[in-house]
């Protein structure tokens, strides 16, 4: 034990250092919430072998293999690892690895970095998927396209002409990014530049994701085939017409509420802020901002705080209506965003799904939004390799001590996290 702890403190452990399972692992007795939205299964057995789920179901139907290590989980709750479709992690490589471990300890086993990633860090993302070191499965949109930001000095592309835009997309292709990100924020790119980015991305076979907060930009991109949106249009209330449009085009939204709520949430919840796991998941400047008593007093005493909270809840009808209509709402938080500093890795993803439940999504649907549906959006596949506790899928698991259906806030009562068949130390 001493050796394992020392390794974990000194550097980011590799999978080999932690030591993979010697044989199968059987997690027995937990209430199983498989991520698909199906009713939970009481007294379940989930068998993990290597990096895969070999079997899962009620105890009566699942045989525990001879020689399996049995993890007694009666009274606990087993979910797929969480997926965050909207993060940022523009940090020095060694720091990225530390934040990834912090995120993993919160049960987030997949993350997508949506822009501001420098070319030299792009290979690290692939390494997370090859399991060169312990981290969530991570994807990157590389630098992304933003006219003036999203913060001073961000390594984004700022093309002035369609030709320049196409050259930038080709550059991203040569970097082997997983996605391409367009910020539809003011000041906007001219329409012909946007069209060139989207068209060249299609030619180069790079999926596009986009930040949108107005209906006009949403339609501009969706009419060109973009489906994967971060944030939501907030310039007008949601209408039946917009719902029908989103449904017909199979759009998805990562509402990204946690980024807004984090401006006051952690000041109001010192019991969460003071958790070492939360502190580890913040950048040093964010930690400082949240420890600043004057800043806290100013934030919580601000005359417009109630109004800001109400504005955040204004997004709830969009989330509820779209979700009920079958439009995919998936977890995305802006965790790790430089402009925010105080949207932590890991916990933010829990707040996001908890707010979907507050918005009126049934808990099982909110959990599906944070697991299988987010995996579907990221992979562009209805049957992704992860995101659900199903036979043959990746063994990315989150074991809870309390029932998230009875109280969605219980998703943070974390017992253990497994990534690709390995328990996270
Ligand atoms: Zn973002």
Task: Calculate how far, in angstroms, residue 346's C-alpha sits from the geometric centre of ligand 1.
Answer: 15
CA–centroid distance, 38 to ligand 1, in Å, is: 31
DSSP 21-79: -SS-EEEESPEE--SSSPPPBSSEEEEEETTEEEEEEEGGG-PPPTTPEEEE-TT-EEE
**What residues sit around ligand 1, an ion, with C-beta below 5 angstroms?**
114, 334
Ligand 1 centre and the CA of 216: distance in Å? 19
Q: 412 CA to middle of ligand 1, Å?
A: 23
**What is the 73 CA–ligand 1 centroid distance (Å)?**
37
CA of 48 to the centre of ligand 1 (A): 34
Q: What is the DSSP letter of 91?
A: S
pLDDT in tens, the chain (425 residues): 333 433 344 456 666 666 555 799 999 999 999 999 999 999 999 999 999 999 999 999 999 999 999 999 999 999 999 999 999 999 999 999 999 999 999 999 999 999 999 999 999 999 999 999 999 999 999 999 999 878 888 999 999 999 999 999 999 999 999 999 999 999 999 999 999 999 999 999 999 999 999 999 999 999 999 999 999 999 999 999 999 999 999 999 999 999 999 999 999 999 999 999 999 999 999 999 999 999 999 999 999 999 999 999 999 999 999 999 999 999 999 999 999 999 999 999 999 999 999 999 999 999 999 999 999 999 999 999 999 999 999 999 999 999 999 999 999 999 999 999 999 99
Measured in Å, residue 351 CA sits from the centre of ligand 1 at 16
* Contact predicate 211/217, CB 8 Å: no
Cα of 163 to ligand 1 centre, how many Å? 26
Put simply, whether the predicted model's pTM sits higher than 0.75 gets the answer: yes
Q: What's the 150 CA to ligand 1 centre distance in angstroms?
A: 8
Span from the CA of 233 to the centroid of ligand 1 (angstroms): 15
> How far is 105 from 346, CA to CA, in rounded Å?
8
Going from the Cα of 332 to the center of ligand 1, the distance in angstroms, rounded, reads 9
């Amino acid at each position: 034990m001493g050796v394992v702890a020392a390794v974990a403190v000194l550097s980011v452990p590799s999978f080999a250092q932690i030591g993979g399972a010697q044989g199968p692992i059987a997690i027995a007795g937990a209430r199983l919430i498989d991520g698909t939205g199906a009713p939970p299964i009481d007294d379940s057995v989930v068998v993990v072998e290597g990096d895969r789920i070999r079997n899962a179901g009620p105890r009566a139907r699942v045989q525990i293999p001879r020689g399996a290590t049995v993890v007694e989980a009666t009274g606990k709750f087993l979910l797929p690892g969480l997926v965050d479709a909207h993060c940022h992690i523009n940090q020095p490589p060694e720091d990225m690895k530390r934040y990834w471990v912090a995120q993993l300890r919160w049960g987030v086993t997949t993350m997508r970095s949506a822009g501001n990633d420098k070319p030299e860090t792009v290979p690290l993302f692939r390494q997370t998927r090859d399991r060169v070191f312990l981290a969530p499965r991570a994807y990157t949109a590389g630098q992304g396209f933003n006219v003036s930001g999203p913060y001073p000095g961000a390594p984004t592309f700022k093309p002035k002409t369609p030709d320049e835009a196409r050259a930038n997309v080709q550059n991203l292709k040569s970097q082997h990014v997983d996605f391409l990100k367009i910020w539809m924020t003011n000041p906007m790119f001219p329409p012909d530049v946007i069209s060139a980015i989207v068209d060249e991305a299609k030619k180069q076979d790079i999926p596009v994701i986009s930040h949108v907060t107005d209906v006009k930009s949403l339609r501009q991109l969706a009419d060109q085939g973009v489906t994967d949106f971060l944030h939501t249009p907030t310039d007008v209330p949601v209408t039946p017409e917009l719902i029908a449009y989103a449904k017909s085009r199979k759009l998805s939204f990562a509402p990204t509420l946690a980024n807004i709520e984090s401006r006051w949430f952690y000041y109001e919840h010192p019991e969460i802020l003071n958790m070492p796991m939360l502190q580890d998941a913040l950048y040093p400047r964010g930690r400082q901002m949240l420890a600043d008593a004057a800043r806290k007093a100013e934030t919580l005493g601000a005359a417009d705080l109630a109004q800001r909270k109400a504005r955040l809840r204004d997004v709830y009808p969009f989330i509820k209506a779209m979700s009920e209509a079958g439009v995919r709402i998936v977890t995305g938080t802006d965790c790790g965003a430089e402009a925010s500093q105080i949207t932590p890795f890991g916990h933010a993803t829990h707040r996001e799904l908890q707010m979907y439940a507050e918005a009126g999504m049934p808990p099982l649907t909110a959990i599906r939004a944070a697991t299988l549906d987010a995996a579907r959006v990221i992979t562009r596949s209805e049957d992704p390799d992860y995101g659900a506790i199903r036979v043959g899928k990746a063994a990315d698991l989150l074991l809870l001590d309390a029932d998230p259906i009875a109280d969605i806030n219980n998703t943070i009562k974390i017992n253990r996290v497994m990534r690709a068949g390995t328990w996270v130390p």
